[in-house]
Chains A and B, each alone.
Chain A
C-alpha cells in the first residue's frame, strides 16, 4: 500500500512538472518562433524548473494526503515519514539505475550478441577479442599508461607539493601548476600538438620540441608517428593535466602531518631530504594510494587525448578509443560492449576496495 502510494505520488509529481514545462515551452514557441538564443535559454530554465517542480509538487501532495493535523495526526505522520525518504531519493535511484546499473547488465547481455544486438552469438565476441591484434596492442598500451601516468603524476605532484609549501609565492605557483586541470582533454591535445608540430629538416620549426631538438643540433622528428615512443608523448599530456590534482591533495596531506614528528627529526639532526622521505612520505601513504587509484581510474577511461591526437594510429590505440572505434566506425555493438566490459573488469578491484574503505569510515 505504502509502495503504491509512493509510486503514485512520484508519478503525479513528475507528470505535472514535465507537463507544465512543456506547456510553457510550447506557448513561448508559439509566440516567438525561430529565436535560437531565446529557445536555448528557455529550454535551460524550464529543464531546471521541472526538476524543482518535482520535489515541490510531490511534497505538497504528500502533505495534502497525510496532513499533520486533524484526527489521524499520528498515523498520518508515520505514513508520511515512511514515504518521504523515497520521494527524496526517487529521482536519484531512477536515474542512477537507468544510467549506470541497467547499462552494466545490458552490456553483459550485448557482449553475447551480434553487431546490432539481435542474434545470439555465444562467446564469439570474446574469442574474436582474444585473437585480435589491435586489442592486444590496446591492452599493451593501456598497461603502459597504467604504469607510467599514475607513477609520474603522483611523483611530480609530491615533488611540487613539497617544494611549493616551502616558499612565499608557493600558492601562486600551485595555481599555475593546477591550472591545466581546467582545460579539456581536447584543448590540451591542441596545445600539445602544437608543441609536437613537425616541419621537414631545413625549414623553420614552429613546434617547440622540434625547435629545441634542432637547436641542439638534432634532426626534427614527427613525434606522434614514432612507434612505441609516441605513446609516451601522449601520456605527457595527461600527466601535465593531472599533476596539479595530485599536488593539491598531497600538499594538504603533508600539511596535516603532526609538527612533533618533524621537529623530533630535526632535533635528531635529519637532513631535509631524510625528513621528507623517511618521516613525511611514510605518514601520507594512505593519501598517496588514493591519488594513485583516482588517476588509475582516469587512465583506464582515457579516450579524448588519443582520439584527438592520433586516433589510435601508429600504434597508440587504447581500450577506450578502440571501443569507440567499434561503436561508431565498426558499428558492431556486440564487440564494442565486450571491450567496454574489459575496461569494467579492470576497474572492478578499485570499486570493491572503495566500497570497503567507505564502509569502514562511514557511520
Chain B
C-alpha cells in the first residue's frame, strides 16, 4: 500500500504531519499533568505548565521593614534588604504604587512624595534612602515583577505518598486487583475448557447465555448485591469486591478463552486421552500452557479494568483508610482539593503509572485480546 503513496511525495508529507498532529493532541493532556506534578506548587498556579522551562513571571508585593529601623549612613537614613527574602529571582521591573507596579526598570531610582529615594537592583537588593530620620511602623510597599528560575521538585510526590494517603490507597488497590485478576481467569479457564471440549446437555444454551451476559450493565447488579451482602454479613470487604469483579468479568473471560481453547488442535487432546490422561490432567498439562496468550490477554484486560474501576469500589468497599482505593481517593481529592494542582497532578500520576507500565510492556497481548474479542465476535 505504501507504493501508492510513494508516488506522491506531497501526500506522504501530509500523512506525516497529520499523524504528528494526532500524536501531539493525544499525548499533550497527559504530558501536562506529568510536568505539573514535578513543578513547584507556587509556579503551577502562576504560570501554565507549557512555560515550565522558561523563567516564571511572578508579581511580588513586598513590604519593607518599618521606617524607624533605618540606620544612618553619611548623614542620610537608609533601609537595605532583599525583596525576595530567602528565595531568589530576577527583577524585571518595579514600582512603588499599586496603580503602576512596573513603572521603573531595575537600577533606576524612584522618588516618593515624601522625598524618599527607592532603588531596587536586578538581584532584588533594595535601598530606601530617607532625607531625614524617619518614624513610624508601616513599611513602604514595593511592587516587583520578578523572573524566577524554573523550579522542579519531587516534593509533591512525597506529600501525596506519605501524607495524603495515596501510599495506603496504592496498597489497597493492589489488594483488590491481584486476586480480582487471577480468580476470574482460573474459574473462566475451567469453564471455557468444559464448554469447548466436554460433552454435556445444555452446552449451547449455556454459551448463548454467557454471550448475552457480556453486555449486562454493571448498574443492574449494584443494588441487589449490596442488599445481599448486607443480609448475609459480607458487608464491605475485600472478598466481596473480588467476587464482584470476578462475576462482572467472567462472561467476557469465558467467551474469549472458549474461542481460543476451541481452536486448539483436536489431535493433541485426543492423543492425550488415548494415553489415559484425565480431563483434569489434560487441562493442567496441555490446555493451560497452550492457552497462555489468551490468558495473558484477558489478564491484562481484567487488570486494567479492576485497577481503573471506581464504581464497584465505591459501592462494595468502605470509605476508610484501610479500604479506599486509588481511584476513589483521587475522586475525593478532586472534590476536597480541587484547586491544589500540585497534589492532584502527583496523585493522578501515581494512579496511572502502573497501568501505563503494564500497557507498554504487554501491549502485544492486549491488542491480540482486543482483536479476538471484537473481530471474531462480529
Do A and B come from the same complex?
yes
Q: Which residue of B lies closest to A285 (CB)?
A: B378
CB <8 Å contact, A88 and B198: yes
CB <8 Å contact, A184 and B327: yes
CB <8 Å contact, B190 and A55: yes
Label chain A's interface by main secondary structure.
helix
CB <8 Å contact, A194 and B345: yes
Chain B residue contacts of A179, Cβ below 8 A = 26-27, 30, 356, 359-360
CB <8 Å contact, A82 and B200: yes
State in angstroms the CA–CA spacing of A41 and B194 once bound together.
31
The interface size bin for chain B is 35 or more
The interface size bin for chain A is 35 or more
Chain B residue contacts of A44, Cβ below 8 A = 174-175, 178-179
CB <8 Å contact, B378 and A340: no
CB <8 Å contact, A194 and B376: no
Chain A residue contacts of B187, Cβ below 8 A = 51, 91-92, 95
State in angstroms the CA–CA spacing of A179 and B33 once bound together.
15
CB <8 Å contact, A272 and B11: yes
Label chain B's interface by main secondary structure.
helix
Residues of chain A from 166 to 198 with CB closer than 8 A to chain B in the complex: 166-167, 170, 173, 175-195, 197
Chain B residue contacts of A192, Cβ below 8 A = 29
Chain A residue contacts of B5, Cβ below 8 A = 166, 272
Q: Is B250 an interface residue (CB 8 A)?
A: yes
Task: Indicate with 1 or 0, residue by residue over B1-29, a CB within 8 angstroms of chain A CB atoms.
Answer: 11011001001100110111011001111
In order of increasing CB-CB distance, the 5 nearest A-B pairs are A99-B247, A184-B308, A290-B378, A182-B359, A92-B191
Interface positions of B (Cβ within 8 A of A): 1-2, 4-5, 8, 11-12, 15-16, 18-20, 22-23, 26-30, 32-33, 36, 44-50, 57, 171-172, 174-175, 178-179, 182-183, 186-188, 190-191, 193-195, 198-200, 204, 206-208, 210-225, 227-228, 238-239, 242-244, 246-248, 250-251, 254-255, 262, 276, 278-280, 283, 304, 307-311, 314-315, 322, 327, 330-331, 334, 341, 344-345, 347-348, 351-352, 355-356, 358-360, 363, 367, 370-371, 374-378
Task: Give me 27 A-to-B residue pairs in the complex whose CB atoms sit less than 8 angstroms apart, sorted by A's number.
Answer: A36-B322, A44-B179, A88-B283, A96-B250, A99-B247, A100-B247, A103-B221, A103-B222, A104-B216, A163-B19, A170-B19, A182-B358, A186-B308, A187-B308, A188-B29, A206-B44, A206-B46, A244-B26, A286-B378, A297-B215, A320-B217, A320-B219, A327-B315, A340-B217, A344-B217, A347-B217, A351-B216
Given contacts A89-B206, A328-B314, 13 further A-B contacts (CB under 8 A): A52-B186, A68-B276, A88-B279, A95-B250, A96-B251, A173-B23, A187-B352, A191-B29, A208-B48, A275-B4, A287-B374, A303-B219, A308-B310
